Homo-oligomer: A and B are copies of this chain.
Amino acid sequence: MEISSANWISEVGVEDPIFMHQYDMNSFDYSILDELNFESLSAESYSSYPDLNPKSAHSFNGSAIENPHTGLESPAKQLKTSSWNSCTTDRMTSMAASSSSSKLISFENSNSAPATSQKFLDCTVKPKNEAGSDLRNMNFPTMISESSLEIQNGSSKHEQDPKRVGTVTRTPLHARDHVMAERKRREKLSQRFIALSAIVPGLKKMDKASVLGDAIKYLKQLQERVKILEEQAAMKTTKSVVSVKKARLSADDDISSSDDNSDSHSEHPLPEIEARVSGKNVLIRIHCDKSKGCAAKILSETEKLDLTIISSNVLPFGNSTLNVTVVAQMDDDFCITAKDLVRNLRRALA
């Protein structure tokens, strides 16, 4: 799975107007222009680099000290434009006014990020050694002991090699790629921080740790809330039923005066069966739990009652119930009352 950084924002971005109240999103404006500069700059000079900092009193002679290997001065020491006012936590109230009081902050104003071909998140997890139940217990003490040993050894002999002989791990050529890659990585991370802070409501401080912390808190309470709501919903659906007036639905009940106002919803358990007869035509309506073979069973049972099915329809209603409507015709020289019809069907579907 490959997501470019540009797409990423649009995917988990902050387009939701409700939660759009932190972090102005203009942190992408540097893409192309800076990219040019990015290419143009090379090892010899950074004078052409656009210093975004208006103060920009950076003395670049210190660069040799700061980055001794490459001699690169950090090309993008950015200013933190945190013109930011007090996080008025107005949720979903005035989204029109959001632009006016646009807070502008960015964890990383630097440039670069061509967003053309970055790859991450390839999502290939190969589960290894599932069986071991306790390997996480294991490696913790081992790690400690190991490390302590390492300390002992390391302190004893550790020559330090004055010429930097050993592993010249990066040639200066690749060192720059390294820098670039690192910069890109930071950029990506910062973007995600921004995106995260945009969807976490009500956060007071905008530093990374606080954003993360508040996000965690928020996430937990969202999870809790979902859990509760789902339990409620699951409970409700079971009895989201309805009352109909049993009066005319089931034949067996006595009727009439019993149910007063409509809210009686004395839920009679599904299936709920209603039938009516008009001449030789029969209309059957069944509201039942969604189960396999349910519709077929209804039809076959109907036909067993010497009815010829003219038309039928099955509609889902909610998550777990079906509404089945059948129009049939009685065969010749056969007659059945609606009451008997309901009774027979109920028996068959019980």
Q: Does A348 sit at the interface, judged by CB under 8 A?
A: no
Size range of the interface on A?
35 or more
A157 and chain B: residue at smallest CB distance: B47
| B161 adjacent to A321 (CB under 8 Å) | no
- A171-179, A256-264, A291-299, A300-308: which lies at the interface: A256-264
Cα distance A85–B49 in the bound complex, in angstroms? 45
Complex contacts, A204 vs chain B, CB 8 Å: 1, 121, 123-125
| B112 adjacent to A147 (CB under 8 Å) | yes
Complex contacts, A277 vs chain B, CB 8 Å: 263-265
Q: Does A38 sit at the interface, judged by CB under 8 A?
A: no
A312 and chain B: residue at smallest CB distance: B315
Complex contacts, A147 vs chain B, CB 8 Å: 29, 52, 111-113
| B144 adjacent to A111 (CB under 8 Å) | yes
Complex contacts, A218 vs chain B, CB 8 Å: 219
Complex contacts, A220 vs chain B, CB 8 Å: 12, 16, 199
Tallying the copies of this chain within the complex gives: 2
Q: Which 4 A-B pairs have the closest CB atoms?
A: A111-B147, A86-B127, A59-B161, A229-B229
- Cβ 8 A contact of A205, one of B125, B148, B242: B125
| B164 adjacent to A192 (CB under 8 Å) | no
Contact string against B for A residues 137-150, beta-carbon threshold 8 Å, 1 for contact and 0 otherwise? 10111011011101
Cα distance A325–B256 in the bound complex, in angstroms? 26
With A188-B209, A204-B123, A229-B230 already in contact, the answer to whether A160 and B242 are too (CB < 8 A) is no
Cα distance A343–B302 in the bound complex, in angstroms? 33
Q: Does A335 sit at the interface, judged by CB under 8 A?
A: no
| A213 adjacent to B260 (CB under 8 Å) | no
| A199 adjacent to B225 (CB under 8 Å) | no
With A62-B166, A129-B85, A139-B83 already in contact, the answer to whether A148 and B114 are too (CB < 8 A) is yes
| B95 adjacent to A318 (CB under 8 Å) | no
Complex contacts, A222 vs chain B, CB 8 Å: 219, 222-223, 226
